[in-house]
Structure 1
């Protein structure tokens, strides 16, 4: 009877490369390298009026929220503002955002701030600059917060001071609660 000989072990550099590749695939599967989901929002609830994805609100802009990206207690979500009117839409600054519960009431104790420097581990805010969106063009802003126990169901978004508010229901709830800060980045160029 012939006993098969074990194959020689991989050289150390090859083993390291294989382990690094496996780690990249494992981390990518956890969503750390995933892009925010920009699909239109079509979920509705009688508690808060949310425009349908195909409708253009009287404000002339539609705001959609991407999925929550979570890593090490830091939460991130992308807001996409689309000019659905027939004329240019001007932006300059940060969105004003309020987190609402399932009945449409504002979550108490959640502070919204312009910029991200008050949210630990959040990326740097690119800063505000004037944008003009032609019909059909979009801009985006990001929201950052630290994980907490309470859940927010809706967002009330004012694109900039003096503009009409738009209600948005994200695809998932925001685990943000009392004594928490929601940081917003400025609107960035069309993508």
Structure 2
């Protein structure tokens, strides 16, 4: 009788263990927005991101966009001695087509408020400097391939000859590179300080010696 009771107890315990192990599977995950039910539990993502949008690569840092005419101005070197000023301006072909220059540029000077400065622009430095200044020479045809540059020189005197006439100072250079071309402007780091001489000499276009650096 004792053995029979013990056997019953053991059977009940084993049956309970078997029944306890028969755990029903976890319910399916709730359907997502697409209506498809997941068959296995998946950890929820921490964030949802949209796919990247294709964009055009921006220009190099510090490089301005190429103006409408396909060229840009770059302020070059300058020299000031005993009131005589000499400066160089470069024109860079930043477009995709050859750019032809011939003769002299047409220029205007503007003040800080972009109002025109009264100045007589002449070809060469005669009457401004006795010695050569780099503004001499005959006009030549210059063809610029993309990335190449040409330049022209300017010469003037910072001289006040009449204290009753306000001194003129140009801070913006406006250039028409060739007939019919759009004007290009350059904000100068160093002003064209004419005093009250009202005279500025320029050179014809001259090809640069090497390919222009990125500006």
Fold equivalence (TM over 0.5) = yes
Of 45, 65, 82, the residue aligned with 1:72 is 82
Question: Is the Cα contact below 8 Å between 2:158 and 2:197 reproduced in 1?
Answer: no
**Counterpart mapping for 1:100-139 below 5 A:** 100-108=110-118, 110-121=119-130, 122-123=132-133, 124-139=135-150
| Cross-structure match for 1:91 | 101
Q: Check if 1:164 corresponds to 2:173.
A: no
How has the CA–CA distance of structure 1 residues 53 and 152 changed in structure 2, closer, same or farther, with 3 Å as cutoff?
Answer: farther
Aligned residues: 139
Q: How has the CA–CA distance of structure 1 residues 68 and 189 changed in structure 2, closer, same or farther, with 3 Å as cutoff?
A: closer
1:140 equivalent in structure 2: 151
Deviation at 1:67, TM superposition (A): 4.5
**TM-score, length-scaled by structure 1:** 0.67
- TM-score by length of structure 2 reads 0.60
Give 2:21's aligned residue.
Answer: none
2:25 alignment partner in structure 1: none
Contact 2:123-2:202 at 8 Å conserved across structures: yes
Structure 2 portions without partners, runs of 5+: 1-61, 160-166, 210-215
- Displaced runs of 4+ in structure 1, greater than 6 A? none
**Residues 67-115 of structure 1: CA deviation (Å, up to 9, x unaligned):** 541012110110100001101000001111111110101112x111122
- Highest CA radius of gyration, 1 or 2? 2
SS of residue paired to 2:188: coil
CA distance, structure 2, for counterparts of residue 92 and residue 163 of structure 1: 12
With CA pairs under 8 Å and 6+ residues apart, which has the higher RCO, 1 or 2? Answer: 1
Query: Which runs of 5 or more residues in structure 1 are unaligned?
Result: 1-51
